[in-house]
Structure 1
C-alpha cells in the first residue's frame, strides 16, 4: 500500500518576512479567539527576554537571527523557522546570539478551569 499523496498548496506559503513591519497587535485590533497579543520582538546581541506563562500560553516563531531558549537545566538553540510554545505554568528565558534574535510572539488566553 502506498502512502496517500498530499496535494501541493494552491497558494504560496506566507513569507515570514512580511511580518517584520509589525510591532504589536492587541485583541482590540480585530483579533478573535484566544489571542491576547501578537508582536514581532527584536533582541540585540546578548539581550534576554523572560517569558512566564502565568494564566496564558506563549508561542514563539523565530524569523531571523539566532539564540537559545532556557528553562531549568534545558537549553534549546533557536534559529529561523524554529517554534517554541510555553504551556500555562511554565517559563523560559530567550537569549539572543551574536547577530541578535527576531521572533513573532503570540500570547494566548487560557480558559479558567471548567470553561470551554
Structure 2
C-alpha cells in the first residue's frame, strides 16, 4: 500500500506582533500535497520555486514560480507538488485565536478584536469603542 504524500514543511513565518496579516513559506516535496485555502480566509499563494498542480475542484491548473494565485475562502483547493517539489508563500488575514486560548501566545489576537481591524487598510484601532478607522476613515465592522 503506498504511503500518503508528505505534508508541507514550514520554512518561515511572520512573527511580528501586533499585525493584521499572516504569511509563511512552505516546501512541498515532489508529490506532496497541501490544502492552502482558509475556512474563512482568502489566501494569496505565491509559488517561489518549482511547480505543481492546483485543483480547485475543476480538474486543476499548473502553478509555477512567480505566478501568484488567489484562493477565495472556502475553496476546495488542493496543491500537489511536481517532480521538482514546490516552495510557496501563503499570505492571508490573521486568524483570531479562540476566546480564552491565550491570544498572541497561540498565534492570534483575541476574537473580540476583529471589530477593531479596518477592512480597508488593516489598522487595529486602539480605542475599543471606535466606529471609524483613524488612518483611512472607513467605518469599522461594529455589528
- How far is the alpha carbon of 1:53 from its aligned partner? 2.6
* Distance in 2 separating the partners of 1:38 and 1:85: 14
Asked if the contact 2:19–2:94 (Cα under 8 Å) also holds between the matched residues in 1, the reply is no
* Distance in 1 separating the partners of 2:71 and 2:52: 17
Decide which of 26, 35, 59 is 2:44's aligned counterpart.
Answer: 59
- How far is the alpha carbon of 1:108 from its aligned partner? 1.8
Decide which of 64, 69, 87 is 1:84's aligned counterpart.
Answer: 69
* Distance in 2 separating the partners of 1:51 and 1:79: 15
Structure 2 unaligned blocks of 5 or more: 1-10, 96-113, 116-139
Higher relative contact order (CA 8 A, sep 6+): 1
* Distance in 2 separating the partners of 1:65 and 1:78: 9
* Distance in 2 separating the partners of 1:68 and 1:86: 14
Match for residue 115 of structure 1?
141
In structure 2, do the counterparts of structure 1 residues 58 and 71 end up closer, same or farther at CA, with 3 Å as the change threshold? same
* Distance in 1 separating the partners of 2:40 and 2:94: 7
CA RMSD of aligned residues (A): 2.4
How many correspondences in the alignment? 90
TM, length-normalised to structure 1: 0.66
Give structure 1 regions of 4+ aligned residues with deviation exceeding 3 angstroms: 30-33, 109-112
In structure 2, do the counterparts of structure 1 residues 87 and 109 end up closer, same or farther at CA, with 3 Å as the change threshold? farther
CA deviation map 1:7-54 (0-9, x unaligned): xxxxxxxxxxxxxxx61114xx14644x1x211110000000013331
User: Which has the higher Rg, Structure 1 or Structure 2?
Assistant: 2
CA deviation map 1:79-107 (0-9, x unaligned): 11111111222220110000000111112
